[in-house]
Structure 1
């Protein structure tokens, strides 16, 4: 999922999945809501309730339906309610024919038996970025295909950096120095998102992963070094103490208003930033600890799945719609319209040439990592531990090592 929206809390999701677990696969495979009749109409459920995404996907879904001889009945559900509705529908056997999921949610929903493996319909993820495939795979089987993805980078105000004689930083040392030099009056050198939510985890992962940290055990020197960077930026005044309350939209507001010379954020902010006349900005990859290193970033975005509805004919048609959404043409058009990155590696160079400001994101996506790649359906617990440690270090004065150990042991 693009991190522009907040989905159901992972605590709620874990509880709901525990309640769903006793359901057998046969129960999920007898869907009274979608199994009646032939495949002339398919029910589709996604979370694109806001424009322009809502209209963008309405258009492409209708076109894919027409191409495959079916009418699309689409329901857009607010992100915060999507998973709870999916679980309720799985329990009541009324799942839609095509279902969009935030990619970190897929493995948990697949583990509950609610999704059909796409290999059953002859679909594969050959040619997709590895991290994208990992995110949509559970126990060796592919359950989703994701047409576009996103990640985060370092935005910078070109005019502010030019006046200060500073090049966009590529290392932690350069980032620290630049942020300190750019801090003046009410303007901070850098802004990032560190609230007690998974937005903080999402923003912290590039620093943690690029330094060799791992979510299996966050109480390590590598993760402590990454967290120390954030602590130092706040302590020396280069970043606001309010980062512990800022979501990514708040960070973008600070940057847009000129209150931050740099920020960590994603390409979904381009339309908002472009509204500000006179704002000249650029984007580079996330800085790494040592020169020459490559940033390891998390993959966002949504994956499209075929729920177990108990109707083979409808499922086969649903799989064709999922394949259509992932065609080369649709990957490129969706990426351009939604400020995202195509997930097929063969399309990335073409897209970078057409959309040069996406270059930094495309470079990082090639080797980006799925958040569920290491822990699978247990990822949400690790995500909570990470943002808890960040909060403890930034607000309660604990050292990064202490905060991380406390979170890991808790």
Structure 2
């Protein structure tokens, strides 16, 4: 089960890490400042903070991807912060209100629109190369887009379906 989830999380974390590392000023040691991405990391180590909810079923997979990413190079390091599920939403709201959201935020897609609307998130359009964006599922791009700008890249898409026998439907 863990290996099945590593590929999607790897792609998203690597893309987000590289794009946020190229944001902000050349002298910053974190990626929190700036509004566009240059694609270049500042000299030294750039540390990105990523917040995750403690209630995620895939938390072990996320941590494995972060450890793998951090071990694969030294220019960009991700600092993972796990917040208890019961308080995650409140902490994200408080951080958004105070302008202290982390560099990477793992949140449910529908919540993205409010944070984009109140300008708590940075648009990612200048950060993702067109060929990378073209490789994303249209549903992932659509879910992460608000007012024509891309604010989030989901790690997975949930497909919902109902399978049953016709006889059960007719009986009920």
Q: TM-score range by the shorter chain?
A: 0.5 to 0.7
* Deviation of the 1:148 alpha carbon: 1.4
Identify the residue that residue 153 of structure 2 maps to in structure 1.
145
Q: 1:118 aligns with which of 115, 124, 131?
A: 124
- Is 2:164 aligned against 1:176? no
Partner secondary structure for residue 162 of structure 2: strand
Any gaps of 5 or more consecutive residues in structure 1?
1-28, 157-167, 181-232, 234-410
* Deviation of the 1:43 alpha carbon: 1.0
Identify the residue that residue 55 of structure 2 maps to in structure 1.
49
Identify the residue that residue 68 of structure 2 maps to in structure 1.
63
Q: 1:85 aligns with which of 85, 91, 94?
A: 91
* Deviation of the 1:98 alpha carbon: 0.8
* Deviation of the 1:34 alpha carbon: 7.0
Q: Where has structure 1 moved over 4 Å in runs of 4 or more?
A: 33-39
* Deviation of the 1:50 alpha carbon: 4.7
Bigger Rg over Cα: 1
Aligned pairs (5 A) from 1:228-377: 233=172
Name the structure, 1 or 2, with higher relative contact order (CA <8 Å, separation 6+). Answer: 1
Partner secondary structure for residue 159 of structure 2: coil
Give the TM-score, by structure 1 length.
Answer: 0.29
Determine the C-alpha separation between the residues in 2 that align with 1:68 and 1:93: 29
Q: Alignment length, in residue pairs?
A: 132
RMSD, aligned CA = 3.0
Give the TM-score, by structure 2 length.
Answer: 0.62
Determine the C-alpha separation between the residues in 1 that align with 2:45 and 2:102: 12
* Deviation of the 1:82 alpha carbon: 2.6
Larger helix percent: 1
* Deviation of the 1:129 alpha carbon: 2.9
